[in-house]
Amino acid sequence: MAINWFKYSSPSSFYPLAGKMIPVFMTLAIVLIMGGLYWGFFETPDVLSDQKQYYRIIYVHVASAWMAMWLYVVMVAWAVLGLIFNTRMSYMMASATAITGAIMTALSLWTGAFWGQTSWGTWWDWDPRMTSQLILLFLYIGYIALQSAIEDNRRSDRASAVLAMVGLAIVPVIYYSINCPDPNECASLHQESSLKRVESNILIAMLVVTAGFWMYCFAVILMRVRNIILLRESHTQWVERLEVKK
Amino acid sequence: MSEFFAMGGYGFYVWSSMGMVLFLMLLEPIVLKIQHRSLLKNIQRQKRRQASKH
């Protein structure tokens, strides 16, 4: 089946397509997140190695932290596509991704603080993983701020795309802040991400919740990109023909 | 049931985390939905204003 992808690079054909996909992704998100959390709370032991029941924060903490990092890469990919092909839709996708990415980063820091208080006895520490995650939050905020500071869309799209690309340097820092090859080189408070040591029921629940978070992010990013299209294309005829649904 | 919510004495930490996730992940789509409505209404209003001018 040959799909003409460039057809969907025009806002007028992407808008209705996105509208059809939103309920699908939202339903999948609800089913996966509820199912994953049910499994994670009721079908798992009360301890994870030396951690007591507070380890259950893991489901939302890991899911939001992964999303925070991946969405940044997704955002940069859209921004780069925009710079190469000069397609309006790519820039709109990049800017729609930023706020959801910032929310995911904030959630990972929030849930991490509550987990840290129980397992390390501190809400916050200037440990490499936490510090780099905080910088990621500032990068998202910087991208959003820069975009809203420049009124001309074409200029703000390109300027913020370049900022996003420069900020990509933080992603390997976040990754290696706990997965560094030589433990003597980085002393971090944060646990290593060692999926092998996690009990399989907990791991399954965690991965299902993460899949649900992906679906949620797809849904809200598409919702936001539809709003961005309406804002930017309000002068066009096809937008004027749209009806308000009751 | 109350034993479940107590989470072995760690209920405050577990539910503060879950609660914030639930709050933000409900708030975000609701805000977007409201924004979508008002954008469509504005466009309709503008169209009517344009039509009455001519």
pLDDT value, residue A109? 96
Q: Which of B8, B40, B46 sits opposite A52 (nearest CB)?
A: B8
Cα of B54 to nearest chain A Cα, Å = 16
CA separation for the pair A49, A10 (Å, rounded) = 52
A220 touches chain B (CB under 8 A): yes
- Long-range contacts of the stretch A124-131 (C-beta < 8 A, 24+): A125/A189, A127/A177, A127/A188, A127/A189, A127/A190, A128/A173, A128/A177, A128/A178, A128/A186, A128/A188, A128/A190, A129/A174, A129/A177, A129/A178, A129/A188, A129/A190, A130/A189, A130/A190, A131/A177
A 36-65 residues with CB below 8 A of B?
A: 37, 41, 46, 52-54, 56-57, 60-61, 64
The mean of the pLDDT values for chain B is: 90
Residues from chain A contacting residue B40 (CB–CB below 8 Å): 230, 242-245
Residue A166 lies in a domain: yes
Using CA coordinates, name the residue in chain A closest to B24.
A103
Cα of B50 to nearest chain A Cα, Å = 11
Token digits of residue A95: 């800017």
Check residues B49 and A99 and name the one with the higher pLDDT.
A99
Using CA coordinates, name the residue in chain B closest to A55.
B14
Q: How many CB atoms lie within 10 A of CB A6?
A: 11
Residue A1 lies in a domain: no
Residues from chain A contacting residue B35 (CB–CB below 8 Å): 227
pLDDT value, residue A73? 97
CA separation for the pair A125, A115 (Å, rounded) = 12
pLDDT value, residue A27? 97
Mean pLDDT by 10 residues, chain A (246 residues): 69 92 97 95 82 89 95 97 92 96 97 92 88 95 96 94 94 81 65 72 93 97 96 86 69
A 138-167 residues with CB below 8 A of B?
A: none
The residue range of the domain holding A88 is: 22-38+55-181+201-233
Contacts of A106 (CB under 8 A, 6+ apart): A137, B24
Residue A212 lies in a domain: yes
pLDDT value, residue B5? 84
CA separation for the pair A145, A132 (Å, rounded) = 20
Residues of B with CB under 8 A from a CB of A: 4, 7-10, 13-14, 16-18, 20-21, 24-25, 28-29, 32-33, 35-37, 39-44, 46-47
Q: Which of B8, B32, B46 sits opposite A53 (nearest CB)?
A: B8
CA separation for the pair B41, A233 (Å, rounded) = 14
Residue A229 lies in a domain: yes
Task: Quote the number of domains for chain A.
Answer: 1
Residue A92 lies in a domain: yes
Residues from chain B contacting residue A242 (CB–CB below 8 Å): 40, 43
How would residue B44 be classed by pLDDT, with cut points 50, 70 and 90?
confident
How would residue B48 be classed by pLDDT, with cut points 50, 70 and 90?
confident
Q: How many CB atoms lie within 10 A of CB A181?
A: 7
**DSSP H or E segment with residue B17:** helix B11-53
pLDDT value, residue A162? 95
Mean predicted confidence (pLDDT) in B20-46:
94
Cα of B23 to nearest chain A Cα, Å = 10
